[in-house]
Chain A
Amino acid sequence: MLEITDLHVHYGGIHAIKGISMKVEEGQIISLIGANGAGKSTTLRTICGLKEATKGSIKYEGVELTKLDTSQIVKRGITMVPEGRRIFPNLSVYENLMAGAYLRKEREEVKKDIDYVYGLFPVLKEREAQRAGTLSGGEQQMLAIGRALMSKPRLLLFDEPSLGLAPVIVKEVFQMIKRIHSEGVTIFLVEQNAYEALKLCDYAYVLETGTIVLQGTGKQLLEDERVRKAYLGG
């Protein structure tokens, strides 16, 4: 579905991604783990066209994404739940969801999808008219996920969805990711919470300062000595 080959990304003089290659098959959950500053967010932002690649290719169903702008990429069925949620605090919960459907024209379908999202997250329905900035951290994460779903993605990228949330909520978030996956959406999950991410995924990559140092099935990596040491606290 998605194939990244020898991707390089720079921020001015900083070489943030140094020639990574990875593959996402349709229907899978792929995890990308790594420490702070490893380049995880940069990878996701480059897939979405928010950051330009300096070299290499990102192919999605045969189409080269590095030449497209974000709106064209979103139209093709990719979107992201960004790091730190990035909901629009001054807009109502409903308007945030409508923002996710910004590119879609079919009003009836959009309406149905709003109801679908409200079904997944009843709390959003309750707070429909409320300013999104007044929601709790967990609710904001639900809203960010709901907003992403409103674009009807087939490939959904998550950038550290568990960041800054209470353990109970983290559990809910991972359950929700599983549920969205079970409804046919392919998942690309970036996490620092390596244990949960590895448990959940079909295949995983470990990123260190812009380079992929390890890869394997979630099970393999959970048992890997180096992963245990560096990311699972022994």
Chain B
Amino acid sequence: MQHLVNAISLGFVFGLVAVGYALVYGVVKLVNFAHGDVFMMGAYMMFYASVLFGFPWLAAVIFGIALTALLGVGIEKVAYRPLRKYPRINSLVSSIGMSFLLQNFAVVVFGGIQRSFPVPEMMKKTIILGEVRIQSVSIYTIIFSILVVLLLTFILQKTRIGLAMRILSTDFETARLMGINVDRTISFTFALGSALAAVSAVFYALRYPQIFPFMGQYPGSRAFIAAVVGGIGSIKGALVGGFLLGMLTVLLPAAFPEYSGYREALIFALLVIVLVFKPNGLFGQEVGEKA
């Protein structure tokens, strides 16, 4: 039971990072390799807001999310927008470069040593229900992740900018013909995707409170796999993919401790199996009708 709660909450964390990938991919068709590093930057911004400026915890988190969203918008402006009219591989390479840039920036400016992410008291508690012990942070993660997903769904399905994003994801030129401002919509998409990265960074750092410049790599690659398994570009798929990975990551070693060394191999085996049977991922649709 405690493993299950733990697995679900980690699943949500991976899921949220993956949704950020999927969102950006869905709209601009770019696999943003810097996403995991934006996640890392989010964690540092919260850390500094809290430790250096002495912001109260919640204020630091909100400040960090806002700043990370801005960072995402900035990255798109300098690293991807100028390349938009060229083949997509250019932006892809640019995003890999951006990933290294952010990591090295973090090493130089924030320092290579690990820092302790502030964890408020109420997140440290362990809830004991008879035999099972559940960490309160897992519960918070699950509740807030669900709220975030609902909010995101609302934005995509019910708002004007959400409509613009969905239109942009199928057809840039006709989107322009509708009068949609393509640049502004893409900026908003990056803001949203980066904010999601920051939100997931909060939950991740609450669980593993040591933050360091390369902390984005592991969840970033996890989320990338999750997004591919789910069908890249599909929000639902990314969430389900993240979920599956979170489950595997936690439940596998718990159920078969003797095989836990094979965890990574199993996760990649899952990726391969899904891609063999469903090349577009679990929720990916046929070319020409993207979700």
Interface residue ranges, A against B (CB under 8 Å): 48-50, 70-71, 74-75, 79-80, 82, 86, 88-91, 95, 98-100, 102-103, 133, 147, 151
Kindly count the residue-residue contacts between A and B in the assembled complex, taking CB atoms under 8 Å apart.
61
Interchain CB contact under 8 A, B180 and A102: yes
Q: Tell me the complex Cα distance, A102–B166, Å.
A: 13
CB nearest neighbor in A for B180: A102
Which residues from chain B contact A75 at a C-beta distance below 8 Å?
179
Interchain CB contact under 8 A, B170 and A103: no
Interchain CB contact under 8 A, A88 and B174: yes
Q: Tell me the complex Cα distance, A147–B171, Å.
A: 15
Apart from the given pairs A71-B180, A74-B177, A82-B177, 14 other A-B contacts in the complex at a CB distance below 8 Å = A50-B177, A71-B181, A80-B177, A86-B174, A89-B289, A90-B166, A90-B169, A90-B170, A90-B290, A102-B160, A102-B178, A102-B180, A147-B178, A151-B179
Q: Tell me the complex Cα distance, A88–B288, Å.
A: 10
Verify if B163 is at the interface (C-beta below 8 Å from A): yes
CB nearest neighbor in A for B174: A86
Please give the distance in Å from A192's CB to the nearest CB on chain B.
Answer: 21
Enumerate 5 A-B pairs (CB-CB under 8 Å) in ascending A order.
Answer: A71-B180, A75-B179, A88-B174, A89-B288, A95-B163
Q: A86-B171, A88-B167, A89-B288 are in contact. Are A102 and B179 (CB under 8 A)?
A: yes
Which residues from chain B contact A89 at a C-beta distance below 8 Å?
170, 288-289
Interchain CB contact under 8 A, B166 and A50: no
Which residues from chain B contact A86 at a C-beta distance below 8 Å?
171, 173-174, 177
CB nearest neighbor in A for B157: A95
Please give the distance in Å from B171's CB to the nearest CB on chain A.
Answer: 6
Main secondary structure of the interface of B (DSSP, over half): loop
| Candidates B170, B174, B288; contact of A82 at CB < 8 Å | B174
Interchain CB contact under 8 A, B163 and A99: yes
Q: A99-B163, A102-B163 are in contact. Are A133 and B180 (CB under 8 A)?
A: no
Please give the distance in Å from B283's CB to the nearest CB on chain A.
Answer: 13
Interface residue ranges, B against A (CB under 8 Å): 160, 163-164, 166-167, 169-171, 173-174, 176-181, 288-291
Which residues from chain A contact B170 at a C-beta distance below 8 Å?
88-90
Q: Tell me the complex Cα distance, A99–B174, Å.
A: 10
Interchain CB contact under 8 A, B163 and A70: no
Q: A88-B167, A90-B170, A102-B160 are in contact. Are A50 and B176 (CB under 8 A)?
A: yes
Which residues from chain B contact A70 at a C-beta distance below 8 Å?
176-177, 179
What 10 pairs across the A-B complex have the smallest Cβ distances? A71-B179, A103-B179, A86-B174, A74-B179, A102-B178, A70-B176, A99-B178, A102-B179, A89-B289, A88-B170
Please give the distance in Å from B169's CB to the nearest CB on chain A.
Answer: 8
Please give the distance in Å from A52's CB to the nearest CB on chain B.
Answer: 12
Which residues from chain B contact A71 at a C-beta distance below 8 Å?
176, 179-181
Which residues from chain A contact B177 at a C-beta distance below 8 Å?
48, 50, 70, 74, 79-80, 82, 86
Which residues from chain A contact B291 at a C-beta distance below 8 Å?
90
Please give the distance in Å from A49's CB to the nearest CB on chain B.
Answer: 8
Q: Tell me the complex Cα distance, A79–B177, Å.
A: 7
Q: Tell me the complex Cα distance, A86–B167, Å.
A: 11
CB nearest neighbor in A for B288: A89
Which residues from chain A contact B169 at a C-beta distance below 8 Å?
90
Q: Tell me the complex Cα distance, A95–B169, Å.
A: 14
Please give the distance in Å from A96's CB to the nearest CB on chain B.
Answer: 9
Q: Tell me the complex Cα distance, A79–B163, Å.
A: 19
Q: A89-B170, A90-B170 are in contact. Are A100 and B178 (CB under 8 A)?
A: yes
